[in-house]
Structure 1
Amino acid sequence: MEKEHQIFGIRAIIEAIHAGKEIDKVFIQKDAQGDLMKDLMKAMKQKSINFSYVPVEKLNRLTPNNHQGAVATIAPIAFYTLEKMVEEVLESGKVPLFLILDQLSDARNFGAIIRTAECTGVNGIIIQKQGSAPVNGDTVKTSAGAVFNVPICKVEHIKDAIFHLQGSGIKTVAATEKTESNIYDLSLTEPLAIIMGSEDRGINPSVLKIVDEKAKLPMFGTIGSLNVSVACGAFLYEVVRQRQ
């Protein structure tokens, strides 16, 4: 994690939240207590800020300074609202291509996906506020800087984002092994949003119920699944092939 993207100390983090800083994630010491910590928890909940409890050893690794049981990461980018992102793409006259990441949690996988998204002309990436990979130094590095070129939007709930996209005339396609449909048999030339799941659990079953289409990649080996960033690349390049 890059130190310039860090805030340490409970009071400093509370001040940053109230000042409207783009806090990406807060790491809280497992057994931390006290009135100031309660104030921090309240401030994070009001702004729906992603946080996790970690051992004190992790906080000590993150910063040599007196962290008081809390370290926050500041996102190196500004996030879009869903409405603004969709509106801008529809007004541009381009055929929309969005990517929805359902609780993908690994920063390096996230960075690799952003890099591929930039290369394949993705107009925006949608992630959930809670449980998603942080946009930190690892993300920036593995995206080769593409994180600065692709709009990223954080939403409260992936399902609400899908309903909004569908209401805007955008077809939603989930990448999942729980289907007989092959990605190569689908039409991907119309306005489109592709949904990729988390590394371990895939796409949430409640999300799968509301998408327009489900599709899988054909598999010929003995291992049942691809790394999510590789699978994402295969899906996006099939969109590129069909739209050429």
Structure 2
Amino acid sequence: MAPHDGSDESPATVYGFHAVLESLHSQSRPVQRIWILRADGRFFTIVALARERGIPLAIESRERLDRLAGDRHHQGVVAQVAAKEYLEGEELLDSLSLRPVPALLVVLDQIQDPHNLGAIVRSVEAAGGDGIVIPKHRAVGLTGGVAKASAGALEHVSIARVANTGKFLEACQQREIRPVALVPEGVEPYSEVDFTEPVALVFGSEGEGIRPIVLKKCDQRVRIPMFGKMNSLNLSVA
């Protein structure tokens, strides 16, 4: 496994009420320190859990929290947690053999927006997906903004990072996991995908879509039917 930034095991910053609370509940990675706007009201549960587990906690001004989070939208709470580890692509695929139901992976080709990635993490967790695959280069990583947008779901979703998305899809095919591209020009609607078989859904970046070199590795191309005047959806909505 690799730490969140791919280079060392430096701590990560998680902010936002639900993201921090789920970090405490899940205990998937140690929470090392918490900074909070106040200790009463909606923050009581976070404060109680921190004190119960002996996690250092400090009351800070909103300006201080802005600096700690690097974002003004922290909802009054910031935590320092151990880095979330990425899986290697093969590790993720190996783990699927233990699943009693057909695999469902989401492969993201060079997604840049932290909010989109966080929202996708939240959707994958809600749908019972087995994991998300992102490239090592030219793509957003697991930032505090991603954790906040996921509303805590990041603690429950496996994330793999791969050097070559096309080769990862070839590895999926070798394991009888069908790569399916979601593209505007898809021949069939997405409802035609057979989810009773293992599937890797492939989504492209916000501006460029799926790169041709990745698209040609997909066995099926499907679309979301659009009945209004717009011909596409925001990536996280799709």
Q: Same fold by TM-score, threshold 0.5 exceeded?
A: yes
* 1:36-185 to 2 correspondences below 5 Å: 76-185=83-192
Could you say what secondary structure the match of 2:85 adopts? coil
Quick check: 1:204 aligned with 2:211?
yes
Which residue identity is paired with 1:21?
E
Q: TM-score, normalised by structure 2?
A: 0.66
Q: Is the 8 A contact 1:165 1:171 kept in 2?
A: yes
Could you say what secondary structure the match of 1:188 adopts? coil
Deviations 1:147-206 (A, max 9, x none): 110000000011011011111110110000122211122322201110011111111111
Which residue identity is paired with 2:229?
T
- Cα offset, 1:208, TM superposition: 1.1
Q: TM-score, normalised by structure 1?
A: 0.64
Q: Is the 8 A contact 1:82 1:161 kept in 2?
A: yes
- Cα offset, 1:142, TM superposition: 0.7
Which residue identity is paired with 2:9?
K
Q: Is the 8 A contact 2:9 2:83 kept in 1?
A: no
Q: Is the 8 A contact 1:80 1:152 kept in 2?
A: yes
Q: Tell me how far apart the structure 1 counterparts of residues 115 and 155 of structure 2 sit (CA, whole Å).
A: 16
Shift in alpha-carbon separation, 1:111–1:175, aligned structure 2, 3 A: same
- Cα offset, 1:23, TM superposition: 9.4
Could you tell me which of 9, 34, 57 is aligned with 1:21?
9
Quick check: 1:218 aligned with 2:225?
yes
Residue segments in structure 1 that go unaligned for 5+ positions in a row: 7-15, 25-60, 64-73, 232-244
Task: Report which structure shows greater RCO (CA 8 Å, sep ≥6).
Answer: 2
Q: Tell me how far apart the structure 2 counterparts of residues 82 and 182 of structure 1 sit (CA, whole Å).
A: 28
How many residues get paired? 170
Which residue identity is paired with 1:153?
A
Shift in alpha-carbon separation, 1:23–1:153, aligned structure 2, 3 A: farther
Q: Is the 8 A contact 1:129 1:154 kept in 2?
A: yes
Which residue identity is paired with 2:235?
V
**What residue number does 1:227 align with?**
234
Q: Tell me how far apart the structure 2 counterparts of residues 171 and 137 of structure 1 sit (CA, whole Å).
A: 32
Report the RMSD for the aligned CA atoms in angstroms. 2.5
Shift in alpha-carbon separation, 1:209–1:23, aligned structure 2, 3 A: farther
- Determine what percentage of the aligned residue pairs are the same residue: 33
Which residue identity is paired with 2:103?
P
Q: Is the 8 A contact 2:102 2:195 kept in 1?
A: no
Q: Tell me how far apart the structure 2 counterparts of residues 173 and 203 of structure 1 sit (CA, whole Å).
A: 11
- Cα offset, 1:81, TM superposition: 1.2
Q: Tell me how far apart the structure 1 counterparts of residues 82 and 134 of structure 2 sit (CA, whole Å).
A: 14
